[in-house]
A and B are shown apart, each in its own frame.
Chain A
Amino acid sequence: MGNGKSIVITSGKGGVGKTTTTANIGTGLAMLGYKVVVVDTDIGLRNLDVVMGLENRIVYDLVDVVEGNCRLKQGLIKDKRYEGLYLLPAAQTKDKTAVTPEQMMDLVSKLREEFDYIIIDSPAGIEQGFKNSIAGADQAFIVTTPEISAVRDADRVIGILEANGISDPKLIINRIRYDMVKRGDMMNVDDIVDILAIDLLGIIPDDEAIVISTNKGEPVVAEDKPLAAKAYKNICDRITGKEVEFLDLDDHEGKFSKILKLLFSR
């Protein structure tokens, strides 16, 4: 058995940023020089390929690899910019029952021999596709947003992971809007961490740069300036064992609006 570490990115609720997070963590780790494969397990609704900008290179997919229609190496798509970064895309025309948890465990154990990190993008929901995605995972990262529905689903998934022997999941809170938090109209990081009672791995601000980078098919983490890029870089550093302070989103509020607030708060 190889030494690679497998991490599933999951959330329960759809649309909270699992795929974006998978792409950015995968890319970020590759930028640090690790050998990384990102695996899309959302069979029938694949999207990691477009977020990574690799949609035109797909020949084989996860189901082909699992069924033995091609060799594992043929199924892996090499990233266009980063050495050591690969994508294993989901099948688009099959359904979730095309793969079993046992097959996933087998696949992940093969990937461990080739890669330092195996980042698995989970589909929304808690059915078969989700079960496949967690089958080979050593660890889980839970993505949530500061909304009741997303936090509730995250809590449910944490329970299911625990029941499946994946304990101590880490939390990524996505799309925090500092202006709303400050007004008291959005749950803050502490509120969510208190309620879910799991360790925090990262905080991603709601950032236009994510939409723009997704439009282009280039994960934001590769850029210098956006705050979200910094946030994902910090997460990657923490994954590799570095201690990095959490972003203080207050610092990044425009100077002008800060002055205005000072003037009017009197």
Chain B
Amino acid sequence: MDFFKSFGKNKTASKNVAKERLKLVLIRDRSDLSPRFIEMIKGDIIRVVREYVEIDVDGLDIKLTRIRRDYDNTPVSALVANIPIIKVKDNYK
């Protein structure tokens, strides 16, 4: 296996390690909202979304990050919520 590994050098290139580490550390650095505040937002979002769909509460992820706005490419801070849906409730189908 080591023989084949040496060909896939991009996978082990140290810059990829740096990028991954950097991305993770920045997620933490950027979320200067207090954990309590995040938990409050989380609670409210769960309550609202649950009205309509069944969601995976453990898989729910909310973070503060920086993205480029679609229409003019300006960098903005954004609250990004990733909410895994298990299924849509029958009465809303």
User: Which residues of chain A are within 8 angstroms of B66 by Cβ–Cβ distance?
Assistant: 158, 196-197
Q: How far is the CA of A37 from the CA of B9 in the complex (A)?
A: 48
Q: Is A241 an interface residue (CB 8 A)?
A: no
User: Which residues of chain A are within 8 angstroms of B21 by Cβ–Cβ distance?
Assistant: 148
Which of A147, A155, A183 is the one whose CB lies under 8 Å from B26? Answer: A155
Q: Is B59 an interface residue (CB 8 A)?
A: no
Query: CB within 8 Å of B: which of A176-213?
Result: 181, 183-188, 191, 195-198
Taking the nearest CB of chain B, how far is it from the CB of A152, in angstroms?
6
The interface bits of chain B over 20-58 (1 if a CB of A lies within 8 angstroms of the residue's CB, else 0) are 011101100110100000000000000000000000000
Q: List 25 A-B contacts (CB under 8 A).
A: A147-B18, A148-B18, A148-B25, A152-B22, A152-B26, A155-B26, A155-B29, A156-B29, A158-B66, A159-B77, A162-B77, A183-B13, A184-B9, A184-B10, A184-B13, A184-B15, A185-B15, A187-B15, A187-B19, A187-B22, A188-B15, A191-B15, A191-B19, A195-B22, A197-B75
Q: Is B68 an interface residue (CB 8 A)?
A: yes
A-B pair count, CB < 8 Å, reads 50
Q: How far is the CA of A197 from the CA of B77 in the complex (A)?
A: 10
A185:B22 contact, CB within 8 angstroms? no
Q: Is B14 an interface residue (CB 8 A)?
A: yes
B26:A195 contact, CB within 8 angstroms? yes
Can you name the residue of chain A whose Cβ is closest to the Cβ of B21? A148
Can you name the residue of chain B whose Cβ is closest to the Cβ of A185? B14
A151:B22 contact, CB within 8 angstroms? yes
Taking the nearest CB of chain A, how far is it from the CB of B21, in angstroms?
6
User: Which residues of chain B are within 8 angstroms of A181 by Cβ–Cβ distance?
Assistant: 15
User: Which residues of chain A are within 8 angstroms of B29 by Cβ–Cβ distance?
Assistant: 152, 155-156
Q: Is B6 an interface residue (CB 8 A)?
A: no
Q: A148-B22, A152-B26 are in contact. List 4 more A-B contacts (CB 8 A).
A: A152-B29, A155-B29, A195-B22, A198-B75
Q: Is B88 an interface residue (CB 8 A)?
A: no
Taking the nearest CB of chain B, how far is it from the CB of A145, in angstroms?
12
Q: Is B60 an interface residue (CB 8 A)?
A: no
Q: How far is the CA of A164 from the CA of B13 in the complex (A)?
A: 38
Can you name the residue of chain A whose Cβ is closest to the Cβ of B19? A191
User: Which residues of chain B are within 8 angstroms of A195 by Cβ–Cβ distance?
Assistant: 19, 22-23, 26
Q: Is A168 an interface residue (CB 8 A)?
A: yes
Taking the nearest CB of chain B, how far is it from the CB of A156, in angstroms?
6
User: Which residues of chain A are within 8 angstroms of B30 by Cβ–Cβ distance?
Assistant: 155, 159
A185:B13 contact, CB within 8 angstroms? yes
The interface bits of chain A over 140-159 (1 if a CB of B lies within 8 angstroms of the residue's CB, else 0) are 00000001100110011011
8 interchain residue pairs of minimum CB distance: A184-B13, A197-B75, A197-B66, A187-B15, A185-B14, A148-B22, A148-B18, A184-B15
